[in-house]
Amino acid sequence: MRRRVVFASVTLGLVAPVAYAQSSGILTDIVSTYERASADWIQHSADITRNLFAALVALELAVTLVAALLRFIGGSAGVGKLSAALLQKIIYIGLFWVFITSFNLWVPKIILSFDHAGATISGTVGLQPSLVLDRGVYLCTLLLYSVGRLGALNSLAVIPESFLVYLSALGLLVCFALIAARLVEALVKSYLILGGAVWFLGFAPFRLTAPLAENYLVTVVRVGVQIFVQYLLIAVGQAVTVEWMTSLTNYTPDQGFRLPLTILGGAIVYAWLVIKVPSDLAYSLTAPSGFLRLREALAADV
C-alpha cells in the first residue's frame, strides 16, 4: 500500500519548509506479488498433492500387507494386533487426507492467527516493510541535511565530524534496509509455505516420507511465531525511532559526533534483534521433536 509520509520540519534559526516524500512501496509490491502468486500455487498443486498422496497410500498399504503377512507367518503377531495397527494407520492417513482436501480452511488460519495476535497485542495495523525502509531513509536524510545546513566554510571546519555523520547516515540506511528485508523474508516465506509447499502434505501416507509432512506442519507454526515476534519488535522499535528523529531534527555536525554514532549503535542493536530473535525463539518453541509420531504410527507393529 502506498502511503504519503510527511517529513517533520527541520530548523536552524529559521524554520525550513516541510518536506513531503512519497513512499516508494517497492517492498510492499514484492510481498503483494508473492501473495497473489501463492493463490495460484495452491490451485496448481492440488491435483499433484492428491496424486502423490494416493500413490504413497498404495505403497504404504503394500508394505504393510507384506510385513503383516511375514509377521503372521512367523507367529510374532496375531490377527487382533495386526488389525489394531492397521486401524491406527488408516486413521492417520485419513486425518492427513482431510488436511489436504480442506487445506484452505485450516492451514492459512494458523499463520493468520499469529498475525492477528501480533497486530492486536502490538497495536499495529500490519507488517509493512516499505514503511520501515522509509523510516531509515528519513533518518539518513536528516543526517545528510544536517551537514548541508552548515555551509561550505563551516563544513570544512568540521571535516572529521562530517565524515562520521556521513558514515552514520549510511549505517542507518543499511540497518533499516536489513530490518525491512527480514520482514519481507518472513512474509514471503509465509506465502511460500501456504502456496508452494502444500504438496509436502502428500508425503504423509508412507513411513519413509512421513517426516516431510510432519516437518511441514512444524514449519507453518514456526513461521507464524516469527511473524508474531516481529510485530512486537517492530512496534517498540518504531516508537524508539520517533525519539531518534526528534533528536536529529536540530542536530548539526558542529555539535560533535556523539549523537549520530549513538543512534547508529541503537539501529545496529535494533536490526540485530529483528533479525536474530524471531528465528531463534521460533526454533526454540518448535524444535523438531516428532510430536505427531507419524512415522512411528505408520510402522507400528507391522
- Domain residue spans of the chain: 24-44+103-289
Specify the pLDDT at position 278: 92
d(CA 62, CA 75): 20
Q: Within 13 Å of residue 67, how many CA atoms lie on the same side as its CB?
A: 17
The number of beta carbons lying within 10 Å of the beta carbon of residue 244 is 22
Q: What's the pTM? A: 0.78
Specify the pLDDT at position 292: 59
Instruction: Dump pLDDT digits (tens) for 120-145.
Output: 998 887 778 988 999 999 999 988 88
Would you say 136 and 237 are in contact if contact means Cβ atoms under 8 Å apart? no
Pinpoint the alpha helices (H) of the chain: 26-74, 79-101, 103-122, 129-148, 152-157, 159-191, 210-249, 258-285, 294-299
Provide the residue type at 47 as one letter: D
Specify the pLDDT at position 16: 30
Cell of 2: 502506498
Mean pLDDT of 43-68: 84
**Predicted confidence band of residue 289 (pLDDT cuts 50, 70, 90):** low
Instruction: Dump pLDDT digits (tens) for 197-213.
Output: 778 888 888 888 888 88
CA distances from 132 to 189, 226, 242 (A): 19, 17, 12
Query: What is the longest distance spanned by two Cα atoms in the chain?
Result: 98
Would you say 229 and 282 are in contact if contact means Cβ atoms under 8 Å apart? yes
Specify the pLDDT at position 18: 31
Cell of 196: 508452494
Burial of 191 (0-12, 13-18, 19+ CB in 10 A): buried
